[in-house]
Structure 1
């Protein structure tokens, strides 16, 4: 079971997992698909030109991106909330299904959280609306550059396990916001206790692992909410992609590893409608001479 993938092809078990452990995720995917939402990749003109001419998108390590706390924020939030009342309620609900489950989750997480922070490669895009077609979004120009590539949503809806690159909307949560979300998840666990018990303890441990991973990867401070960010991410330590090329590049004076996603239509490796002519809707030039 993968927590991200092509929405229309997921099985009932995955949909049930989303409903219990990732509330709101499938609704966001359906909204993007039904409303044919587009996305914008805000960057500088040099990078935008390279994306188009080289037909590739770079995924950078989370530790060297604009906000160095890209993943550490979500991990810190997990530690804070799970050490409090909401975390205790969650643990009690899980232990009531299978005693010892939390201990097994803790054992599995040893080392993984550190790896999530250090070995996750990300490309960030932003939900785009029609009223931004001409001028873009001021806050994004201020933060990310002078050029926006507006793209169609087909690849976002069709990234599959075969590609091993996944997409998800960012959650903008404060500590109180995550407490409320965890309480919502706990309520769903209590309602679906018999169903989760029928799956067995190993599956329940895996589900909780995926839930925590999702929180770590896609949670940001509410102060960034205007970005309406979605993340494309690749985890080479967990899953290899035949489509992704590993390179060493110098960016901003920093030598770093990047993974390169070719922009082409190649269903054999899990790429759907990702070729530049199909993908690119428009280019917006922001405030610049």
Structure 2
């Protein structure tokens, strides 16, 4: 995973820890897991596509709203004041410009962001999965390799980012690190010009808004895949209106394919899939055989070895 100099510097200042988290995924060959229902998992495989749903209908009802509320609270407090003073010392009027930009985009972030959620997968969970995730999200886990998420490209216009699990106090501490970096790199930021600094602050606030969750969810270890069609269209996305759980809604379907020219690297099912973990359910053997069968149809090698029945002794409800 390579970063150009300006992207690297931006993240070092405004997203402390992000570069390290991203490099760890690549360097340690970490995998991800998509916890879902068996029905959805089967559709992902058979249709070879991943659905992105509007953030307002996701399981956590506070998606994005939590981050926006946290921004208001922290930036109106003492650490927010320190941040504003550091920025204003570089270019007077920058905070007003950043506030105006935030106001013009806030509703769009909330209403026109489409996301899919995966979790970092630990090798110790290879034969069982994560109990809390079985209880919250379904009975099937699709474990995938990291290749699509570590490819350095923006052709597909779909982005991934680790979720920050922060309370108000913790975001204040995180913002303090950012302010410290701004003070250290004052000359560098001044050399970029005020408009670039405004854009950098806007991008920082965007990350806080769309990828911050209550620390009570931290065991999810979530990485968020997001798509913003109001900003940029993707060649790999197909828009469709569907009815899910009785709610008519627009979804965007990401084609799972190996199409480097479109920004899709190793995203086809045979290349992407590491294993399927069948979680606790009433008929684990039946589920096992069904998933083996569909993997055979897709040309996945060693299909039987890639489907694992979780050994957690949890009685399905």
Taking structure 2 as the reference length, what is the TM-score of the superposition? 0.88
Note the C-alpha offset of 1:159: 5.9
Q: Decide whether the 8 Å contact of 1:159 with 1:272 is kept in 2.
A: no
Note the C-alpha offset of 1:123: 0.3
Note the C-alpha offset of 1:240: 1.1
Give the number of equivalent residue pairs.
282
What CA distance in whole angstroms lies between the structure 2 residues aligned with 1:159 and 1:242? Answer: 17
Q: In structure 1, what is the equivalent of residue 221 of structure 2? A: 228
Map Cα deviations across residues 76-97 of structure 1 (whole Å, 9 max, x no partner).
0000000010110000000000
The counterpart of 2:135, out of the listed 135, 139, 142, is 142
Q: Decide whether the 8 Å contact of 1:159 with 1:165 is kept in 2.
A: no
- Matches of residues 58-77 of structure 1 in structure 2 within 5 Å? 58-77=51-70
- Matches of residues 35-74 of structure 1 in structure 2 within 5 Å? 35-74=28-67
C-alpha change, 1:206 and 1:59, in structure 2 (3 Å) is: same
Map Cα deviations across residues 215-255 of structure 1 (whole Å, 9 max, x no partner).
11110000000000000000001111121111001111111
Q: CA RMSD in A?
A: 0.7
SS in 1 for 2:89: helix
SS in 2 for 1:97: coil
The counterpart of 2:281, out of the listed 274, 279, 288, is 288
C-alpha change, 1:56 and 1:159, in structure 2 (3 Å) is: farther
Q: In structure 2, what is the equivalent of residue 4 of structure 1? A: none
Q: In structure 2, what is the equivalent of residue 253 of structure 1? A: 246
- Asked which structure has the greater RCO (Cα within 8 Å, sep 6+), the reply is 1
Which stretches of structure 1, 4 residues or longer, exceed 3 Å deviation after superposition?
A: none
What CA distance in whole angstroms lies between the structure 2 residues aligned with 1:198 and 1:132? Answer: 48
Q: Which runs of 5+ in 1 are unaligned?
A: 1-6
Tell which structure's C-alpha radius of gyration is larger: 2
Q: In structure 2, what is the equivalent of residue 213 of structure 1? A: 206
The counterpart of 1:102, out of the listed 76, 95, 98, is 95
Q: Decide whether the 8 Å contact of 1:160 with 1:166 is kept in 2.
A: no
The counterpart of 1:243, out of the listed 225, 231, 236, is 236
The counterpart of 2:81, out of the listed 88, 96, 113, is 88
